[in-house]
Amino acid sequence: MQKAIFLDNAATTRTGAGVVKAMQPWLEQNFGSPATLYSLGSQAKQAIEDARQSLAGLIGAEAKDIFFTSGATESNNWAIKGVAEALAEKGRHIITNQAEHHSILMPLRYLEKKGWDISYLPVDGDGLVDPDAISAAIRPDTVLITTVHANHEIGTIQPVAEIGRIAAEKKIAFHVNAAQTVGHIPVDVNSLGAHLLSISGHKFYGPKGVGALYLKRGVRITPLFHGGSQEKKRRAGTHNVPGIVGIGEAARIARNSMDAEIEKLSGLRDYIFAWVEKNIEDIRINGHRTRRLPNNVNFSLEGIEGESIMLSLSYPTAEGARPVFISTGSACVSGNLEPSHILLALGLPAELAHGSVRISMAKEDTREDIDYALEAIAAVAERLRNMSPVYKRGDKKCTAFDKSAGCDCEAAS
């Protein structure tokens, strides 16, 4: 098979070669548990503290405020359930928005069933939360505000610092899910005003199964895991030493490569937007055009469905063709038969959510590979549109989309 072009880096990234190399000794030779006192253990303990320092440096935090977890899902669950439980006597109201990741929404639904009251604020047509709406939603019993830093699907970057100022003023705990931003764009816990911040290792060229929660000193939170006294008794369980070493190394590399990555990928991103607008008819760009992750592209194709786009790209039939891996917000791949709740929250009609394509790049991507992928996407779109009983060229039908001024559907009518 020809070499695949992997453009699904918002789902997961390839673990960097340097990261793998840094992890290796901690699997075979230095396998000791850091909780033990003999030399094998104390070496591991030192490695963990080095990684903590490295990760803290990446987000402008102090090392002692970093707590290692198994990834962003755990960090998000811990932040939400832990703060809710610790502050249950004070109040049971939490503010979030409709376009959050499932690892935020599902713990909140769980709390809802147990008697908490959750405000799911709407987002605008670009996916932005309105800080004024957050201000207005605050009540005397509000104990937590949680927001994503940048959306994993549409790349929109939220006005986090502004929300952080509101939270500080009202003395409400503020959690930021930074799974898509840490290691990719500057994240500074202090300027964002975050009290809690979730980090995922495998989203920035680190290994899977490791992440962290930043906990500002003084934040009241109960543990999610009870057991041994690891992580100052706040997160029990033997440390994932190779993983932690890996995320530490990924953080060290990110500090050095971030500026170049931002410049390169935002250039490629804008190039892709210009290319698809010029070469593929009847598309709609999803997410904010500029307040956006450098590596994220998302658009909907009228008259076709995302799973068939994804499948066609990943199993090309032409001899010598390279597979291209992208993602879609179609219900057909969601597992729950619903199209992406994020695209629906933007106000997109279901058919455009089904026909969405997300391209998420990595720092090593080349213009040649992107060009190849774009030609492949255009060819697949053409083929599937020829097959579609509803697609009519130039006949944009997204009448249900009246939420954003950005929709130019009426142009074709």
274 CB contacts (<8 Å, ≥6 apart)? none
Among 124, 153, 305, 369, contact with other proteins (rule: CB under 8 A): 305
The interface mask with other proteins, positions 337-376, x = CB under 8 A, is x-x---------xxx--x----------------------
Closest CA to 261 of 11, 16, 5, 3: 16
- The letter for the amino acid at 101 is H
At its nearest, how many Å lie between other proteins and the CB of residue 262? 35
Q: How many residues sit in the footprint of other proteins (CB under 8 A)?
A: 25
Query: Is residue 411 at the binding interface for other proteins, with CB under 8 A as the rule?
Result: no
Exposed, middle or buried: residue 335 (CB in 10 Å: 0-12, 13-18, 19+)?
Answer: exposed
Query: Is residue 307 at the binding interface for other proteins, with CB under 8 A as the rule?
Result: yes
Report the C-alpha gap between 193 and 166 in whole angstroms: 9
Among 303, 324, 361, 381, contact with other proteins (rule: CB under 8 A): 303
Query: Is residue 389 at the binding interface for other proteins, with CB under 8 A as the rule?
Result: yes
Place of tokens 């490791």: 210
7 CB contacts (<8 Å, ≥6 apart)? 324, 325, 326, 359, 360, 361, 365, 373
- The letter for the amino acid at 219 is V
The interface mask with other proteins, positions 311-330, x = CB under 8 A, is xx--x-x------------x
DSSP assignment, residue 35?
Answer: T
The interface mask with other proteins, positions 36-55, x = CB under 8 A, is --------------------
Closest CB to other proteins among residues 108, 409: 409
Q: Are 238 and 33 in contact (CB under 8 A)?
A: yes
Report the C-alpha gap between 180 and 176 in whole angstroms: 11
Return the C-alpha torsion angle 42, 47, 51, 56, nearest 10: 40
Query: Is residue 117 at the binding interface for other proteins, with CB under 8 A as the rule?
Result: no
Query: Is residue 24 at the binding interface for other proteins, with CB under 8 A as the rule?
Result: no
Confirm whether 407 is a catalytic residue. no
At its nearest, how many Å lie between other proteins and the CB of residue 356? 11
Structure tokens at 171: 């003395």
Query: Is residue 395 at the binding interface for other proteins, with CB under 8 A as the rule?
Result: no
Query: Is residue 304 at the binding interface for other proteins, with CB under 8 A as the rule?
Result: yes
Among 11, 332, 379, 412, contact with other proteins (rule: CB under 8 A): 332
Structure tokens at 335: 């597992």
> Interface residues with other proteins (CB under 8 A)?
303-305, 307-308, 311-312, 315, 317, 330-332, 335, 337, 339, 349-351, 354, 386-391
Please give the positions annotated as active site. 332
